[in-house]
Amino acid sequence: MTIERRPVTALKGVGPALAKRLGRLGIDTVADLLFWLPTRYEDRTHVVPIGSLRPGMRAAVEGSIELAEVVFRGRRSLLVRLADGTGFLTLRFFHFSGAQQQQLVRGARLACFGEVRRGKHGPEIVHPEYRDAGAPDTQAVKGALTPIYPVTEGLQQGRLRNLTAQALAAVDDDGLPDFLPAEVERRLGLPSLGEALKYVHRPPPDAQLAVLEAGRHPAQRRLAFEELLAHQLTLRRLRNVIRRDPAWPVAAGGTLAGRLLAGTGFTLTAAQRRVIAELRRDLAAPHPMLRLVQGDVGSGKTIVAALAAADVVEAGMQAALMAPTELLAEQHAQNFTRWLAPLGLAPLLVTGRMPAKARREAEAALAGGAAGVAIGTHALFQDEVRFAKLAFVIVDEQHRFGVHQRMRLREKGAAGRYPHQLVMTATPIPRTLAMTAYADLDVSVIDELPPGRTPVATVAMPDSRRDEVVARIRGACLAGRQAYWVCPLIEESEQLEAQAAEDTAAALAAALPDVAVGIVHGRMPPAAREKTMAKFKAGGIGLLVATTVIEVGVDVPNASLMVIENAERMGLAQLHQLRGRVGRGSEASSCVLLWHAPLSQLAKQRLAVLRGTNDGFEVARRDLELRGPGELLGTRQAGLMQLKVADLMRDADLLPGVQAAADVMLRAHADNIAPLERRWIGGSNRYGKV
User: Quick one: what does residue 584 bind among ligand ADP, Mg ion, none, with the CB cut-off 5 to 8 Å set by partner type?
Assistant: ligand ADP
Contact region for ligand ADP (CB under 6 A) — 149-157, 195-203, 264-272, 677-685?
A: 264-272
Closest chain position to ligand ADP (CB): 300
Query: Among residues 114 and 553, whose Cβ is nearest to Mg ion?
Result: 553
Site string for ligand ADP, 214-253 (x = CB under 6 A): ----------------------------------------
Distance CA 250, CA 314 (A): 9
Contact region for Mg ion (CB under 5 A) — 94-102, 174-182, 232-240, 552-560?
A: 552-560
Distance CA 144, CA 140 (A): 8
- 266 binds ligand ADP per the rule CB under 6 A: yes
Query: Among residues 164 and 614, whose Cβ is nearest to ligand ADP?
Result: 614
| Distance of closest approach, residue 300 Cβ to ligand ADP, in angstroms | 3
Contact 436, 655 (CB under 8 A): yes
> Distance of CA 636 to CAs 285, 400, 427, 629, 642, Å?
32, 7, 11, 12, 10
Query: Among residues 349 and 394, whose Cβ is nearest to ligand ADP?
Result: 394
Q: From 534, 675, 629, select the one nearest 210 (Cα to Cα).
A: 629
> Distance of CA 179 to CAs 172, 669, 676, Å?
17, 9, 6
| Distance of closest approach, residue 164 Cβ to ligand ADP, in angstroms | 48
- 298 binds Mg ion per the rule CB under 5 A: no
Q: From 251, 318, 322, select the one nearest 283 (Cα to Cα).
A: 251
Contact region for Mg ion (CB under 5 A) — 19-27, 342-350, 548-556, 582-590?
A: 548-556
Query: Among residues 198 and 584, whose Cβ is nearest to Mg ion?
Result: 584
Name beta bridge partners: 543: 483, 517
Count of CB atoms situated within 10 Å of the CB of 335? 18
Query: Among residues 82 and 304, whose Cβ is nearest to ligand ADP?
Result: 304
Query: Among residues 122 and 263, whose Cβ is nearest to ligand ADP?
Result: 263
User: Quick one: what does residue 268 bind among Mg ion, ligand ADP, none, with the CB cut-off 5 to 8 Å set by partner type?
Assistant: ligand ADP
Q: Which of 426, 483, 561, 572 binds ligand ADP (CB under 6 A)?
A: 426
Contact region for Mg ion (CB under 5 A) — 285-293, 316-324, 431-439, 549-557?
A: 549-557
Q: Cis omega before residue 598 (within 30°)?
A: yes
| Distance of closest approach, residue 606 Cβ to ligand ADP, in angstroms | 22
Sequence-distant (6+) residues with CB within 8 A of 322 are: 329, 376, 377, 378, 380, 381, 393, 394, 395, 396, 409
User: Quick one: what does residue 519 bind among Mg ion, ligand ADP, none, with the CB cut-off 5 to 8 Å set by partner type?
Assistant: none
- 268 binds ligand ADP per the rule CB under 6 A: yes
> Distance of CA 79 to CAs 67, 91, 106, 406, 572, Å?
8, 6, 12, 56, 47
Query: Among residues 269 and 590, whose Cβ is nearest to ligand ADP?
Result: 269
Contact 371, 344 (CB under 8 A): no
| Distance of closest approach, residue 277 Cβ to ligand ADP, in angstroms | 15
Contact 594, 566 (CB under 8 A): yes
Contact region for Mg ion (CB under 5 A) — 187-195, 241-249, 460-468, 553-561?
A: 553-561
Distance CA 415, CA 418 (A): 9
Fill in the amino acid letter for 513: P
Distance CA 551, CA 530 (A): 16
Query: Among residues 2 and 267, whose Cβ is nearest to ligand ADP?
Result: 267
| Distance of closest approach, residue 334 Cβ to Mg ion, in angstroms | 13
Query: Among residues 363 and 530, whose Cβ is nearest to ligand ADP?
Result: 530
Contact region for Mg ion (CB under 5 A) — 86-94, 508-516, 546-554, 657-665?
A: 546-554
Distance CA 116, CA 121 (A): 13
Rounded to 10°, the helix 572-579/601-612 angle is 30
Site string for ligand ADP, 438-467 (x = CB under 6 A): ------------x-----------------
Site for ligand ADP in 295-334 (CB under 6 A): 295, 297-303
Contact 389, 318 (CB under 8 A): yes
Q: From 332, 331, 320, select the one nearest 409 (Cα to Cα).
A: 320
User: Quick one: what does residue 300 bind among ligand ADP, Mg ion, none, with the CB cut-off 5 to 8 Å set by partner type?
Assistant: ligand ADP
- 616 binds Mg ion per the rule CB under 5 A: no
Contact region for ligand ADP (CB under 6 A) — 122-130, 133-141, 398-406, 553-561?
A: 553-561
Strand ranges (E), 120-168 = 122-126, 129-132, 146-148
- 114 binds Mg ion per the rule CB under 5 A: no
> Helix, strand or coil for residue 644?
coil
| Distance of closest approach, residue 263 Cβ to Mg ion, in angstroms | 19
348-350 sheet: strands from edge to edge? 348-350, 373-376, 318-322, 390-396, 420-425, 290-295, 442-446
> Distance of CA 33 to CAs 2, 5, 51, 153, Å?
14, 12, 39, 17
Q: What is the CA radius of gyration of the chain?
A: 30
Distance CA 141, CA 686 (A): 34
| Distance of closest approach, residue 247 Cβ to ligand ADP, in angstroms | 25
SS (H, E, C) 365-404: HHHHCCCCEEEECHHHHCCCCCCCCEEEEEEECHHHCCHH
Sequence-distant (6+) residues with CB within 8 A of 237 are: 673, 677, 690
- 633 binds ligand ADP per the rule CB under 6 A: no
Distance CA 135, CA 133 (A): 6
Query: Among residues 426 and 470, whose Cβ is nearest to ligand ADP?
Result: 426
Q: From 557, 552, 525, select the one nearest 538 (Cα to Cα).
A: 557
- 94 binds ligand ADP per the rule CB under 6 A: no
Query: Among residues 45 and 299, whose Cβ is nearest to ligand ADP?
Result: 299
- 555 binds ligand ADP per the rule CB under 6 A: yes
Fill in the amino acid letter for 221: R
Query: Among residues 128 and 553, whose Cβ is nearest to Mg ion?
Result: 553
User: Quick one: what does residue 555 bind among ligand ADP, Mg ion, none, with the CB cut-off 5 to 8 Å set by partner type?
Assistant: ligand ADP
Contact 203, 212 (CB under 8 A): yes
Please tell me the count of residues contacting ligand ADP according to CB under 6 A: 19
- 553 binds Mg ion per the rule CB under 5 A: yes
Site string for ligand ADP, 139-178 (x = CB under 6 A): ----------------------------------------
| Distance of closest approach, residue 498 Cβ to Mg ion, in angstroms | 24
| Distance of closest approach, residue 427 Cβ to ligand ADP, in angstroms | 11
Residues that bind Mg ion (CB under 5 A): 553
Residues that bind ligand ADP (CB under 6 A): 266-269, 272, 295, 297-303, 426, 450, 553, 555, 557, 584
